Amino acid sequence: MTDQEIRAEAERRASDRTDQEIIRKTLDEGVQTVWDRFALQQPQCGFGQLGVCCNNCAMGPCRIDPFGGKTSLGVCGANVDTIVARNLLDDLSVGAAAHSDHGREVVQVLLETAEGHGQGYQIKDVEKLHRLATEYGIQTDGRATNDIAKDLALGILEEYGTIKNRIQLAERAPEQTKEIWRKTGIMPRSIDREIVEAMHRIHMGVDADYVNLLLHAMRTSLSDGWGGSMAATECSDILFGTPTPLTSITNLATLSREKVNIVLHGHNPLLSQMIVNVAEDPDLKRMAEEKGAKGINLVGMCCTGNELLMRSGIPLAGSFFDQELAIATGAVEAMVVDYQCIYHSIPLTAGCYHTKVFTTSTKGKISGTIYKEFKPENARDTAHEIIKLAIENFPNRNPDRVRIPERPMKVMAGFSEETIRKALGGTYKPLIDAIVAGTIRGCVGIVGCNNPRIKQDYGHITLAKELIKRNILVVETGCSAIACGKAGLLVPEAADLAGEGLASVCRLLGIPPVLHMGSCVDCSRILVLAANIAKELGVGIGDLPIGGAAPEWYSQKAISIGTYFVSSGVYTVLGIPPKIFGSSNVLNLLADGVKGITNSAFAVEPDPLKTADLLEAEINRKRKALNI
Amino acid sequence: MKTVFVRQERCVGCRHCEVACAIEHSKGKGLLSTIQEETKSYPRIFVEVIDNYLKFPNRCRHCDPAPCMQVCPTGSLYRDEQTGSVLIDYLKCIGCAVCAMACPFGIIQFQKIQKYEMNREVNAKCDNCIGRLEEGRIPACAEACKTSALEFGEANDLIRIARTDFTSRMITSRGSETEVPVIPENIRAFQKVMEKLASLS
């Protein structure tokens, strides 16, 4: 490739200047990345893309001719609707399980902390602990914090079981929304039960009715959003503090030329937050200096990065697609991963440089990495050991192969639901008034990942810019928030890009027009935000002038998020087609039929400008129904 | 004249034809044995792709006259009169690649041939599954294709269907609903989304 071709290819792959710079380096050095692997996979199988391939049992794999030919039934007799709906439920359940199992680990650490087994952990947000305990009917008056925490942790762990038959956190939804769930039979009964039942229904010879399958998919997604994900968010807040607004920096320029760089990547804050605490140890700082470094530079990546940014202001190196690029700067001594969204080839990338990759979860081992198992009872020791090994790796850095982009971008983050409410004076009335007056037309949650089918961050940034221009407030989580951070939309000055109404509100409050609400489990914060606004207005979530979008999603977790948005009453636009186009019936139900149930639906639209049109039309429709 | 006719709009890019072709030309003729054979059997049909939504399964058209046959300096290419297939005498092939230069479809690839335990690579293009044809079966690629993107039959019959399709399209533009073969609405919607995604970059 000529220099010019390399430049053009980098611009085709990513939107961000620092990403492009390192992509050029990977092309120059022949380091394989996600875009190369995507190109090598072309063409991808159309049966799979349409969702008409079933690989569930040993009579198969089977596939249905999407053009209506003779191959219309699987060996078991399943038709195209059954196969597509079953595959969707399968994907969704994997996503729900990922969120909820992550949540369970946080609750377990809360329990162990309360019992005094957690090394280095403490209850940081006692106020929130008390608030949740009250929700769970746990006595708080005159009781020790640890006793309350233990009862609460056990109470939330019960949400995963099968005896209780209801989820306490789901009670937070407005009455009108819960009535829809009860009437339709999709009120979640337990976090684990819905996932296990989904697996049962997917087995050959169980559920063949696509409507019945999709209704259970909705129930499973609700057990994630209003269950597992919410448990993860709430208990992380109790253990590490509820986020409040703070400023930090983002993009690949957050890596340091002089310091030991440790990238904290994955989703769960349990170990990474401990690394943040331990890195303050003067002994470690001294050790770094002895090795010729000017200190230790911790940066976050993906949702672990979001968790650390939200609570501790740790710089955020980038999103899902930046994990290889960070290593390719040649300046990363250690990448510490927990689980979810870690490329399985990451040790191969690290092998091109001096980077050491540490896997830390018994659930997420990758051969070719150094395994340091995380356990709550020795979390501090593990964190200490990892940092030490990273420091020892510093002399192996080859300065000739280091390239770190200039100029990190400033970001403001930390917008938990509690913080937003507090900023508004303890009630949503000012926001509701602004929406009624039309100063702010409505609110959209942009969430989700990166996907090589679309230029990195293009969908997130273009959509966010377009919505704020139209006076629609944007809240974000996950890689979407990181994309807008890199693009400079998470600072109060970005109000200049917003429409007059939204800009005036942002300036008044000193907030950005795009609010960073956290990691992907923190989509539950968006649910609580919507629920509280709806309750203050005395309506259901489905009546609110709000919407959701996942312009660049790739993960099964995003299917669960999108579905719990729609099931809760939030119209949601997907930028990447889900694997359901093989069945017109499934397609019609999700794009149209569900409207009659939840007053919301899915839409598929890759063009972010057209997505903005769809969301604005939905907001206007809901405004009209509310007579505002 | 019998041929494998390609209906591009029906190709979903599953590459099942490629797998079936490699198996058919292997020693063991089974999926599991094929992947373990020392001299690998590679496909002689190629599903090419543009932007992940435009796919075309490209294989030898067994032209008549065949440019590859006309330029071969050693006469290693010949026609099986009964089936019209252009075949290769592997022992005569000198690997000069002049046939590949003449091929209008660019489908000639050089491989080692198991049967002769050769150490050199020779023109190993599609042989129309001549063995199967002699047994009254159809080529492996056409048999593997579940969407009828590859159909084996009398060329004129298959062309007639394509012609009717074309005529219908012409009429559709004047308001008729008819279209043969029918591409379902949902598949059209999917193709449109994929096209839009590709156009964004």
Under an 8 A CB cutoff, do B15 and A607 touch? Answer: no
Residue B94 has pLDDT above 70, yes or no: yes
pLDDT at B128: 97
Chain B interface includes A69 (CB < 8 A): yes
Mean of pLDDT over chain B? 90
In whole angstroms, give the CA distance from residue A519 to residue A557. Answer: 12
Amino acid identity for residue B103 in this structure: C
**Contact across the interface for B148 and A46, Cβ inside 8 Å:** no
Q: In whole angstroms, what separates CA A156 from the centre of its chain?
A: 21
Q: Which residues of A424-463 are buried (b: 16+ CB within 10 A; e: fewer)?
A: beeebeebbebbeeebbbbbbbbbbbbbbbbbbbbbbbbb
What mean pLDDT comes out for the span A79-108?
98
In chain B, which residues have their Cβ closer than 8 Å to the Cβ of A576? 197
Query: Is residue B178 over pLDDT 70?
Result: no
What integer is the mean pLDDT of A381-397? 97
Interval A228-284: pLDDT, tens: 999 999 999 999 999 999 999 999 999 999 999 999 999 999 999 999 999 999 999
Closest by CA position to A301, among listed A257, A352, A357:
A357
How far is it, in rounded angstroms, from Cα A175 to Cα A559? 25
Q: Taking residues B166-187, what's their average pLDDT? A: 69
Alpha carbon distances (Å) from A616 to A195, A432, A469: 34, 17, 11
> In angstroms, rounded to a whole number, what is the distance separating the alpha carbons of residues B180 and B13?
21
**Is the pLDDT reported for residue B180 higher than 80?**
no
Over residues A461-467, mean pLDDT: 98
**pLDDT for the residue numbered B181:** 62
CA distance B22 to B31: 9
Q: Please answer yes or no on whether A67 and B190 come within 8 Å at the CB atom.
A: no
Which residue do the tokens 């109060």 mark? Answer: A492
Task: Answer whether B190 sits within 8 Å of A65, measured CB to CB.
Answer: no
pLDDT at residue B52 greater than cutoff 90: no
Q: Mutation target for A interface from B54, B191, B197, B199: give the one with most A CBs within 10 A.
A: B197
Judged by CB atoms within 8 Å, which residues 58-117 of B form the interface with A?
A: none
Interface touch B182/A67, C-beta < 8 Å: yes
- Interface A:B, Cβ pairs < 8 A: 92
Query: For A67, which of B181, B196, B197 is closest by C-beta distance?
Result: B181
**Is the alpha carbon torsion for B155, B157, B160, B165 positive or negative?**
negative
Put simply, whether B194 touches A (Cβ < 8 Å) is yes
Q: Which two tokens stand for residue A418?
A: 């509690």
A255/A404 Cα distance (integer angstroms) = 7
Q: Is B167 on the interface with A (CB under 8 A)?
A: no
Pairing of strands A546-550, A571-574: parallel
pLDDT higher than 60, residue B179: no
pLDDT 10s digits, A275-315: 999 999 999 999 999 999 999 999 999 999 999 999 999 99
Q: Report the alpha-carbon distance of residue A164 to residue A14 in Å, rounded.
A: 48
Range B183-198 average pLDDT: 91
Q: Is the pLDDT of residue B45 over 60?
A: yes
The model's pLDDT over A30-46, given as tens digits with 9 standing for 90+, comes to: 999 999 999 999 889 98
Would you place residue A70 in the very low, low, confident or very high pLDDT band (cuts 50, 70, 90)?
Answer: confident
Q: Give chain A's mean pLDDT.
A: 97
* A contact residues 572-611, partner B, Cβ 8 Å cutoff: 575-577, 581-584, 587, 604, 606-607
Q: How do beta strands B110-111 and B122-123 pair?
A: antiparallel
CA dist., res. A299 & res. A389, Å (int):
17
The answer to whether A72 and A573 have CB atoms below 8 angstroms apart is no
Rounded to an integer, what distance in angstroms lies between the CA atom of residue A607 and that of residue B75? 55
Q: In sequence order, which residues have a C-beta less than 8 Å from that of residue B83 and are 6 or more positions away?
A: B2, B128, B130, B133, B134
Give the percent of chain A with pLDDT over 90.
97
* Contact B183/A at CB under 8 A: yes
Instruction: Give residue A628's pLDDT band: very low, low, confident or very high (50, 70, 90).
Output: very high
The beta-carbon neighbor of B184 closest among A47, A48, A584 is: A584
Burial group, residue A389, by CB count within 10 angstroms (0-12, 13-18, 19+): middle
Asked if B180 reaches chain A (Cβ–Cβ under 8 Å), the answer is no
Average pLDDT over residues A552-566: 98
A74 touches chain B (CB under 8 A): no
Structure confidence at residue B126 (pLDDT): 97
The pLDDT score that the predictor gives to residue B172 is: 67
Reported ipTM: the value is 0.80
Contact B13 A45 (CB under 8 A): yes
The C-alpha atoms of residue A561 and residue A602 are separated, in whole angstroms, by: 12
Q: What is the DSSP letter of B64?
A: S
The pLDDT value given to residue B6: 94
Nearest CA in chain A to B52: A43
Residue A385's closest CA among A407, A365, A416, A358? A358
Judge whether residue A496 has pLDDT over 60. Answer: yes
Q: What is the pLDDT of residues A118-143, one digit of tens each?
A: 888 999 999 999 999 999 999 999 99
Evaluated on CA atoms A619, A620, A625, A628, the torsion sign reads positive
* Pairing assessment for the beta strands B122-123 and A334-337 based on DSSP bridges: unpaired
- The pTM of this model reads 0.93
A563 has pLDDT over 60:
yes
Write out pLDDT tens, residues A98-111: 999 999 999 999 99
Q: Which residues contact A191 (CB under 8 A, 6 or more apart)?
A: A100, A103, A104, A159, A160, A167, A223, A224, A227, A228, A231
- Residue numbers in B near A44 (CB within 8 A): 13, 52
- Mutation target among B146, B180, B191 for the A interface, most CBs of A within 10 A: B146
Chain A contact set for B49 (CB, 8 A): 42-43
pLDDT in tens, A327-386: 999 999 999 999 999 999 999 999 999 999 999 999 999 999 999 999 999 999 999 999
Average pLDDT over residues A513-541: 97
Q: What is the mean pLDDT of residues A169-197?
A: 98
> Which of A42, A454, A455, A457 to substitute to test the interface with B, most B CBs within 10 Å?
A42
Q: Do B186 and A581 touch (CB under 8 A)?
A: yes
Which residues neighbour A378 within 8 Å (Cβ) at sequence distance 6 or greater? A119
B201 pLDDT above the threshold of 90: no
d(CA A448, CA A561): 9
Is the CB of A455 inside 8 Å of chain B's CB atoms?
A: yes
- pLDDT attached to residue B163: 84
Mean pLDDT (whole number) for B92-117? 92
Dump pLDDT digits (tens) for A469-483: 999 999 999 999 999
CA B33, B35, B41, B45 dihedral sign is positive
pLDDT in tens, A414-426: 999 999 999 888 9
